[in-house]
């Protein structure tokens, strides 16, 4: 069993206000088995027990997996934080506040450079479509 599954199982059991021994008895498994599920030491689970867990905890593993997959896909689409980019943006803002013409000049140069790079990557696309 995966660690996230065990952690989530424990969280839901605790939210329900049940001790391991009490919940294990309700499920028809040993407390040791339930502890192993919660800690990820048990690598398999019978479908019957999984079904009971879902019913007892009002929890769908399929929904949980779908949410996790969606979050991973979204994270992959978002660029990672870049300290260098953050620093450059902060400095550009400071420059624009202190010397607006210089800030506007640099921002214009950056925008022009971005357009040139984008146009080289997408030579067959019309300019309006390339900016999307």
Domain check: are 87 and 68 in the same one? no
- Cα-to-chain-centroid distance, residue 18: 29
Domain count, the chain: 2
Q: Is the pLDDT of residue 67 over 80?
A: no
Q: Is the pLDDT of residue 1 over 70?
A: no
* Enclosing domain of residue 28: 3-77
- Band of residue 82 on the pLDDT scale cut at 50, 70, 90: confident
Mean pLDDT, rounded, for 66-75: 72
* pLDDT tens-digit series, residues 4-61: 778 888 988 898 898 999 999 988 899 999 999 899 888 788 888 878 877 777 666 6
Domain check: are 49 and 65 in the same one? yes
Domain check: are 92 and 68 in the same one? no
What is the CATH number for 30?
1.10.260.40
Per-residue HEC secondary structure of the chain comes to CCHHHHHHHHHHHHHCCCCHHHHHHHHCCCHHHHHHHHHCCCCCCCHHHHHHHHHHHCCCHHHHHHHHHHHHHHHHHCCCCCHHHHHHHHHHHHHHHHCHHHHHHHHHHHHHHHHHHHHHHCCCCCHHHHCC
Q: Is the pLDDT of residue 75 over 80?
A: no
Confirm if 1 and 43 have CB atoms less than 8 A apart: yes
Q: Residue 125 has what pLDDT?
A: 55
Domain check: are 38 and 89 in the same one? no
Domain check: are 41 and 24 in the same one? yes
* pLDDT tens-digit series, residues 88-127: 888 989 988 998 888 888 888 888 888 888 888 765 555 5
Domain check: are 61 and 36 in the same one? yes
Domain final residue pick, 60, 77, 94: 77
Domain check: are 88 and 35 in the same one? no
Q: Residue 31 has what pLDDT?
A: 94
Domain check: are 107 and 123 in the same one? yes
Domain check: are 59 and 15 in the same one? yes
Domain check: are 73 and 87 in the same one? no
Q: Is the pLDDT of residue 64 over 70?
A: no
Confirm if 12 and 59 have CB atoms less than 8 A apart: yes
Domain check: are 88 and 33 in the same one? no
């Amino acid at each position: 069993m995966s660690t996230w599954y065990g952690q989530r199982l424990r969280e839901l059991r605790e939210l329900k206000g049940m001790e391991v021994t009490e919940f294990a008895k309700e499920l028809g498994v040993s407390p040791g088995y339930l502890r192993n599920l919660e800690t990820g030491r048990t690598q398999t689970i019978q479908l019957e027990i999984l079904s009971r867990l879902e019913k007892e905890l009002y929890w769908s593993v399929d929904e949980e997996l779908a949410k996790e997959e969606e979050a991973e896909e979204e994270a992959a689409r978002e660029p990672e934080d870049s300290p260098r980019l953050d620093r450059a943006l902060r400095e550009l803002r400071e420059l624009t506040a202190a010397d607006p013409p210089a800030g506007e000049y640099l921002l214009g140069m950056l925008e022009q450079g971005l357009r040139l790079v984008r146009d080289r990557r997408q030579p067959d696309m019309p300019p309006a479509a390339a900016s999307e």
